[in-house]
Structure 1
Amino acid sequence: MLSVRHLQASYGAAQVLFDVSLDVGAGEVVTLLGRNGMGKTTTIKSIMGLLRPRGGDIRFDGAIVTGLPPYRVAQTGIGLVPEGRQIFPTLTVEENLVATAATRKGARRWNLKEVYELFPRLKERRNNLGTQLSGGEQQMLAIGRALMTNPKLLILDEATEGLAPLIRAEIWSCLKRLRDERQSILVIDKNVDVLAGFADRHVIIEKGCSVWTGTSAELAADPGIKERYLHV
Structure 2
Amino acid sequence: MSVLLEVEGLEASYGAAKVLFGMDFAVSAGKVVTLMGRNGMGKTTTIRALLGMIASDAGRIVFDGTEMTGRPSFRVAQAGLGLVPEGRQIFSSLSVEENLIATSANRHGATPGWSLERVYEFFPRLRERRLNMGNQLSGGEQQMLAIGRALMTNPKLLILDEATEGLAPLVRAEIWACLERLKGEGQSILVVDKNVDALEKLADAHVVVEKGQVVWSGTSAELAADPTVRERYLSV
TM-score with structure 1 length normalisation? 0.99
* Secondary structure, counterpart of 1:227 in structure 2: helix
* Secondary structure, counterpart of 1:41 in structure 2: helix
1:105 and 2:113 equivalent? no
* Secondary structure, counterpart of 1:226 in structure 2: helix
1:15 aligns with: 18
* Secondary structure, counterpart of 1:17 in structure 2: strand
Shift of 1:80: 0.3
Q: Distance in 1 between matches of 2:11 and 2:106?
A: 32
1:222 aligns with: 226
Q: What is the aligned-residue RMSD (CA, Å)?
A: 0.7
Alignment length, in residue pairs? Answer: 232
Q: Distance in 2 between matches of 1:218 and 1:59?
A: 27
Shift of 1:106: 4.6
Shift of 1:107: 2.4
1:6 aligns with: 9
* Secondary structure, counterpart of 1:54 in structure 2: strand
Q: Which amino acid aligns with 1:169?
A: A
1:182 aligns with: 186
* Secondary structure, counterpart of 1:169 in structure 2: helix
2:130 aligns with: 126
2:81 aligns with: 78
1:165 aligns with: 169
Q: Which one is further off, 62-71 or 183-192?
A: 62-71
What does residue range 82-93 of structure 1 map to in structure 2 within 5 Å? 82-93=85-96
Shift of 1:213: 0.6
Q: Distance in 2 between matches of 1:36 and 1:103?
A: 35
* Secondary structure, counterpart of 1:19 in structure 2: strand
Q: Which runs of 5+ in 1 are unaligned?
A: none
Q: Which amino acid aligns with 1:149?
A: T
Q: Distance in 2 between matches of 1:62 and 1:106?
A: 18
Show CA shifts across 1:17-38 (max 9, x none): 0111110011000000000000
1:30 and 2:30 equivalent? no
Q: 2:71 aligns with which of 61, 68, 78?
A: 68
Q: Which amino acid aligns with 2:97?
A: E
Q: Which amino acid aligns with 2:90?
A: I
Q: Distance in 2 between matches of 1:130 and 1:66?
A: 33
Q: Distance in 2 between matches of 1:182 and 1:62?
A: 19
Show CA shifts across 1:121-169 (max 9, x none): 0000000011100100000000000000000100000000000001111
2:213 aligns with: 209
Q: Which runs of 5+ in 2 are unaligned?
A: none
Q: Distance in 1 between matches of 2:45 and 2:17?
A: 12
Shift of 1:55: 0.7
Q: Which amino acid aligns with 1:223?
A: P
